[in-house]
C-alpha cells in the first residue's frame, strides 16, 4: 500500500511540473518578462534640506577601493584612506570622537557589539571601542 501512495505522489508531481512548461495554460500569452514595464508618473516632490555636512580626512584617496560610512544606533562611523576614523552623531553632526590609527586604510568601518574594525592596506586589522575610539587590539 505504501508503494502505491508513493507512486501516486510521484505521478502527481510529474504532471504538475509538466503543466508549468506548457505555454498559455495558466498565464497570459501577451506577457513577456523580458520587456520593461511602463513607468508610472510621480507628481509628488520632496524638498531635501542639508541639515549638516562633515568631512573626515581626505576621503578614500587614490585607491581603487571604496570607503563607505556606517550608520549604527544613531552614530555614523567613518574612515579615510590615510587612517582617520571618527564617530559623528547622525542627528546633529557633532563629532563624538576622532582618531588617527596611523595606518593606511583600505576599507570602511565594520561594527560588532561595542567594537569597530578597520583594515589596513598592508593587511593589518584593528579593533576600536565604538564608544571612545580607543584601540583594543591590532594584528
Condensed to tens digits (0 to 9), the pLDDT of residues 91-102 reads 999 999 999 999
Residue pair 121/106 in contact (Cβ under 8 Å)? The answer is yes
**Chain segment 13-35, per-residue pLDDT in tens:** 777 776 655 555 566 567 777 88
Question: With 90 as the cut, is the pLDDT of residue 70 above it?
Answer: yes
Q: Alpha carbon of 46 to those of 49, 50, 60: distances in Å? A: 10, 13, 31
Three-class SS state of 7: helix
**Residue with C-alpha cell 500500500?**
1
Determine the 3-state secondary structure of 8 from DSSP.
helix
pTM exceeds 0.75? no
Domains in the chain, start-ordered, CATH in brackets? 70-138 (2.40.10.480)
Amino acid at each position: 500500500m505504501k508503494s502505491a501512495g508513493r507512486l501516486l505522489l510521484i505521478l502527481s508531481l510529474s504532471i504538475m511540473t509538466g503543466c508549468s512548461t506548457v505555454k498559455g495554460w495558466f498565464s497570459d500569452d501577451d506577457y513577456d518578462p523580458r520587456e520593461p514595464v511602463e513607468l508610472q508618473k510621480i507628481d509628488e516632490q520632496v524638498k531635501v534640506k542639508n541639515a549638516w555636512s562633515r568631512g573626515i580626512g581626505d576621503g578614500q584617496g587614490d585607491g581603487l577601493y571604496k570607503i563607505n560610512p556606517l550608520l549604527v544606533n544613531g552614530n555614523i562611523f567613518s574612515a579615510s584612506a590615510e587612517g582617520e576614523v571618527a564617530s559623528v552623531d547622525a542627528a546633529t553632526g557633532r563629532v563624538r570622537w576622532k582618531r588617527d590609527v596611523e595606518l593606511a586604510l583600505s576599507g570602511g568601518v565594520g561594527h560588532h557589539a561595542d567594537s569597530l574594525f578597520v583594515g589596513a592596506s598592508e593587511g593589518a586589522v584593528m579593533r576600536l571601542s565604538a564608544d571612545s575610539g580607543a584601540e583594543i587590539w591590532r594584528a
